[in-house]
Amino acid sequence: MCSPEEAALLRLEEVFSATLARINSRVLQPLFTDAPESSDSEGRECLQLLQQLHRSSQQLWEVTEDSLRSLRERLCHPDTIGLESLLLLRCADHVLQVHVEYIESYTNCVVMQAFQKAAKRRSDYWRRQRKALQQLLWGVSSEGSVGTALVQALRQPLTHHVQQYVLLLLSLRDTMGEHHPTQELVVHATTLFGNLQSFLRQALDQAVATQVLWRTLSSRPRDALCTPARRLLQDSQDVPVTVTPLRAERVLLFDDVLVLLQGHNVHTFDLKLVWVDSEQDGCMFHLLTPEEEFFFCSKDPQGQVVWQWKVTQAVCQALRGKKDFPLLGAGLEPSKPPVCRSMAYTFLAEGRLCQATYEGEWCQGRPHGKGTLKWPDGRNHVGNFCQGLEHGFGICLLPQASEDKFDCYKCHWQEGSMCGYGICEYGTDEVYKGYFQEGLRHGFGVLESTLQAPQHCKYTGHWVRGQRSGYGVEEDGDRGEHYIGMWQADQRHGPGVMVTQAGVCYQGTFQADKIVGPGILLSEDDSLYEGTFTRDLTLMGKGKVTFPNGFILEGSFGSGTGRGLHTQGVLDTAALPPDPSSTCKRQLGLGAFPVESRWQGVYGPFHDFLRAGCPGDLQEALLGFHVQTSRELRKSQEYLCCERTQPDDSAGTMEDILEELLQHRDPEALPQCLSKALSNSLHPLGKLLRTLMLTFQATYAGIGANKHLQGLAQEEVKQHAQELWAAYRGLLQVALQRKGQVPEEEEDPETRDRQVHGLMLPLVLPSFYSELFTLYLLLHEREDSLYSQGITNLSLFPDTKLLEFLDVQKHLWPLKDLTLTTNQRHSLVRDKCFLSATECLQKVISTMDPREKLEVLERTYGEIEATVSRVLGQEHKLPMDDLLPLLLYVVSRARIQHLGAEIHLIRDMMDPIHTGGLYDFLLTALESCYEHIQKEDMHRLPSRRDSGEPW
């Protein structure tokens, strides 16, 4: 059996469907069909609103028809079709949404007075239709305006229909048992349409209030504010409120904007970018916007509460993007707007952000978080912001005025200025990588012209407030010069060393980019000049030249146009040849630039990082980042982003790094731990090492690869090892402090030196080895040339003749190790004796670690003794008189290139703990062999008489 309420619902739907059909045919269609084409925008807008209302009405009629059909089927077949089949219960949310869309379309027409304007265009027609309208309405006066009648014609049926829905659904709910299967559906539908009734009442009230407002406002603010969807929520004429400091005459709160009227000026504030300060003082509360902040003051607490609540709920509604249902502030979502939001806004006030559009995250009226700033002139900044200022990592593009190029800054920012590490690609084909402070280059940095630049130039060193100052290295490709020394205010100033592409070296004093006072000049042929110069290193004034053959020229030097160099002085040809260490091997720069202060711009930020406790937010600003470089920048910059890539060798968070150091600080695990850290470009130690490698390459590679700089490079590598060990110790202390453990005691100098030379130096030396060993090669090129010639001559000897020539006692000859063929004699065998020792010694060039090289030398000594012991048939310890000839034989057969460079590098870089020990003894023996091979008696070719055999 069907209930009486279901039958009543059927009749209600039949009446409403018929009413909607009549409204469509008698009201809506005549309003926009056959209407004359309007030439003004207001008329076109009115027509569009009516057409939208007609579409919404048609959808409402279709839903009503569907509901009607479901009711009829239910009434015809009550036994087989259950109550849950009713569209009104089964699809209550859909039915509700169609009603809401119709209400919004209708209220838009009410706000814009679309009915009155459309009726006015066909006034004669509507006067004839007044009787037809009266059939749709109750109590419509025959004297009322046609526009008012049209408004009532659409409002009354809808209001009555929703009201009846609620009453019948309530009655149906009350007649059901508590456990009825459709109880939940009926309760849900009752709640929805009860809310719809409240929503309809509020929507109609807001529409009427907004329509009245538009009629009362003057044309200028009305034209600026009037839109169909905008609704008035509060007016200061109804609840008085004053605004300071703007002194607004009238305050209007709409559902999307807050409006302050000052005479003819209209100030609008997007509610999505309005923040209501939760703290209040008496009858006053605080509002924040991107460019303004003001206070709302009311005469009484009640007025203040009304305005604060209305503004708060309006902001929430605007952020959600849809009207609260059923009433303002009655939505299911939180009624307190979020402090942090993501929005776009164009700044209008004068200042650095004028005309700039910011799109991104906000907090309390200020850009805060990730976002993008774009100016009309092409400037663009994307990155992190804090309280309205660029803060954190960001990428900034600045267009150049004269050309279609950009300066691209990929930097860390602090309170609106570049601060920390950054990479800047300039439109002038230059790239800067280094540190900034207050927007200027400050600290360590590298400025280099790109390959596309017509003249290559590179500066690696220190900066002070945007200018080169302090220690730095410059390579000028155009002039073919390499400068190492001090700078001040972007000019060479103080002690410096200059190396030219031609191999000329100068050491002296610079002032304001000019050479001043006496200096030293070393030419490629090892001539030495001591005196004064011109800017281009031309000899000028009093000086002394010492030639490689020992001649000394002392006097006055000068030059003139077309005259070349001329001198007046005394040439001393009786002087003894100079000590090679004073000319060929003379080292420049030692003492002029204390090694501990050269690269403080690299060490300093790391020490500051340690003192700050290694905070994670400073890690990237200190250690750098990985950003894909792109010189081809499109004008649109649509792809610009500030995401940094993380390579596969990511070191993890700072907490992970410190934890790993704690777990591997015992002596057995520490070497491997340090090796792993130094090899990782994202580890603090690895990043520091790579920066030091960069400075080393900039100083001693290319034109800087000069033998007179070997001393500078050697002490620099040792200093870097010491600083890296101090950096490790600093990280370890921070790790202990974070764990609440007692920091380790400070190392005494002896312990520190032992760890630096025994542990850290062997780990870091490979990173500098290529440039450093090249300098050793150049420094010892002359001796190595003599050594190589001696090796070539000795290689002509067969084994037995060479052993005899080197005075190796015959009972030590390992002839029993030789396997001869039928036609072979001992006197013809070559490169077979002491073969294991020879092969062992050859491995000295396979490693870059001085300690491992010494170990190779020790194993070579062991192989020689083992071979001799096997020949003698008993264990035998070789005295020095027997060892040196045998070692000399092995060295000659190993044919190691550049042995002099190898020996001197080992001597300079080995751990001082080995001084006076076995390693020192063996290295001294190897040096003796090297020097012996260079002697004249090793350079004569063996004759047939010497060998006794045909060659």
Q: Residue 275 belongs to what H/E stretch? A: strand 275-281
Q: For residue 946, what pLDDT is reported?
A: 46
Q: What is the pLDDT of residues 306-360, one digit of tens each?
A: 999 999 999 999 998 888 888 887 765 667 889 999 999 999 988 889 999 999 9
142-146, 433-437, 463-467: the lowest-pLDDT one: 142-146
Q: What is the per-residue DSSP string for 389-439?
A: EEEEEEEEEEE-SSSS-EEEEEEEEETTEEEEEEEEEETTTEEEEEEEETT
- Whole-angstrom Cα distance, residue 339 to residue 158? 40
CA distance 296 to 273: 17
Q: CA dist 147 to 33, 113, 769, 784, Å? A: 17, 8, 94, 110
CB 88 within 8 A of CB 192: no
Q: Are 331 and 321 in contact (CB under 8 A)?
A: no
Answer whether residue 722 shows pLDDT above 50.
yes
CA distance 475 to 782: 27
H/E segment holding residue 713? helix 710-738
**Is pLDDT above 90 for 275?**
yes
Rounded CA-CA distance 117/123 in Å is 10
Residue whose entry in the numeric block shows the structure tokens 């490698």: 693
Asked whether the predicted pLDDT for residue 604 surpasses 50, the reply is yes
d(CA 702, CA 713): 14
pLDDT at residue 75 greater than cutoff 70:
yes
Packed helices 684-700 and 710-738: angle between N→C axes, nearest 10 degrees: 170
Beta-carbon contacts of residue 493 (< 8 Å; ≥ 6 apart): 486, 487, 510, 511, 512, 513
Angstrom distance (rounded) from CA 398 to CA 55: 51
pLDDT at 429: 83
The residue among 883, 914, 892, 726 whose CA lies nearest residue 801 is: 892
The burial of 37, by beta-carbon neighbours within 10 Å (0-12 exposed, 13-18 middle, 19 or more buried), is given as exposed
Least confident segment among 231-240, 610-619, 851-860? 610-619
Average pLDDT for residues 452-477, to the nearest whole number?
Answer: 90
Give the pLDDT score at 53: 93
Q: What is the pLDDT of residue 68?
A: 93
Give the number of C-alpha atoms closer than 13 A to the C-alpha of residue 494, restricted to the C-beta side: 15
Q: What average pLDDT does the segment 216-224 reach?
A: 90
Q: Quick: pLDDT tens for 525-552.
A: 888 888 887 777 777 778 888 888 888 8
Lowest mean pLDDT among 122-136, 721-735, 862-876: 122-136
Nearest CA-CA partner of 356 in 422, 423, 290 = 290
pLDDT of residue 951: 29
Annotate 386-403 with DSSP letters as a single string: ETTEEEEEEEEEEE-SSS
pLDDT tens-digit series, residues 258-269? 999 988 889 999
Q: Tell me, what's the pLDDT at 145?
A: 73
Average pLDDT over residues 407-424: 90
Q: How far is CA 768 from CA 716, 721, 778, 941, 943, in A?
A: 10, 11, 16, 40, 46
Of 307, 478, 312, 289, nearest to 388 (Cα)? 289
Q: Is the pLDDT reported for residue 582 higher than 80?
A: no
Q: Are 443 and 604 in contact (CB under 8 A)?
A: yes
Whether 908 shows a pLDDT value over 70: the answer reads yes
Residue identified by tokens 């309003």 is 31
Band of the pLDDT at 634, cuts 50, 70, 90?
very low
Query: What Å distances lie between residue 350 and 355, 374, 378, 398, 659, CA to CA?
Result: 9, 16, 18, 20, 50
Q: Is the pLDDT of residue 820 over 50?
A: yes
745 pLDDT above the threshold of 60: yes
Q: How far apart are CA 944 and CA 386, in angstroms?
A: 89
- Reduced 3-state DSSP string for 557-585: EEEECCCEEEEEEEEECCCCCCCHHHCCC
Q: What is the pLDDT of residues 92-135, one digit of tens each?
A: 999 999 999 999 999 999 999 988 887 777 666 666 666 666 66
Asked if 932 and 938 touch (Cβ cutoff 8 Å), the reply is yes
How many Cβ atoms from other residues are within 10 Å of residue 275's Cβ?
21
C-alpha 123/C-alpha 477 separation (Å) is 88
Report whether pLDDT(433) > 80.
Answer: yes
Q: What is the pLDDT of residues 560-573, one digit of tens each?
A: 666 667 787 888 88
Strands 389-399 and 293-297, by their bridges, are: unpaired
Judged by phi (left if over 0) then psi (alpha if -120 to 50, else beta), residue 423 lies in: beta
Residue 903's pLDDT is 95
More confident residue, 820 or 481: 481
Average pLDDT of 882-900? 93
**pLDDT for res 710:** 93
Q: pLDDT digit string (tens) for 492-510?
A: 999 999 999 888 899 999 9
Angstrom distance (rounded) from CA 565 to CA 464: 40
Asked if 130 and 149 touch (Cβ cutoff 8 Å), the reply is: yes
Q: What tens digit of pLDDT does each residue of 160-211 get?
A: 999 998 999 999 888 887 778 888 899 999 999 999 999 999 999 999 999 9
DSSP element (H, E) containing 294: strand 293-297
Residue 793: pLDDT over 70: yes
Please write the tens of the pLDDT for every residue from 8-34.
999 999 999 999 998 888 888 887 765
- The separation between CA 66 and the C-alpha centre of its own chain, rounded to angstroms, equals 59
Band of pLDDT at residue 60, cut at 50, 70 and 90 = very high
What length is written for the chain? 951
If DSSP states are collapsed to H, E and C, what string results for 218-272? CHHHHHHHCCCCCCEEEECCCCCCEEECCCCCEEEEECCEEEEEECCEEEEEEHH
User: Which pLDDT value is given to residue 572?
Assistant: 82
What percentage of the chain has pLDDT greater than the value 70?
A: 88
Amino acid at 884: L
Confidence band for 36, pLDDT divided at 50, 70 and 90? low
Average pLDDT, the chain: 86
pLDDT at site 826? 62
Question: What single-letter amino acid sits at 314?
Answer: A
> Could you give the C-alpha distances from 428 to 99, 166, 631, in angstroms and in order?
64, 75, 11
For the chain, the straight-line distance linking the first and the last C-alpha, in angstroms and rounded, comes to: 130
Tell me what the mean pLDDT of segment 903-931 comes to: 93
- Could you write out the three-class secondary structure of 13-48? HHHHHHHHHHHHHHHHHHHHCCCCCCCCHHHHHHHH
Tens-place pLDDT, residues 656-709: 889 999 999 899 999 999 999 999 888 899 999 999 999 999 999 999 999 999
Residue 850's pLDDT band, with cuts at 50, 70 and 90, is very high
Q: Is the pLDDT of residue 222 over 80?
A: yes
Among 58-67, 159-168, 553-562, the minimum mean pLDDT is found in 553-562
Tell me, what's the pLDDT at 831?
A: 78
459-468, 637-646, 724-733: which range is least confident on average?
Answer: 637-646
In 3D space, the residue among 381, 456, 378 whose CA is nearest the CA of residue 413 turns out to be: 381
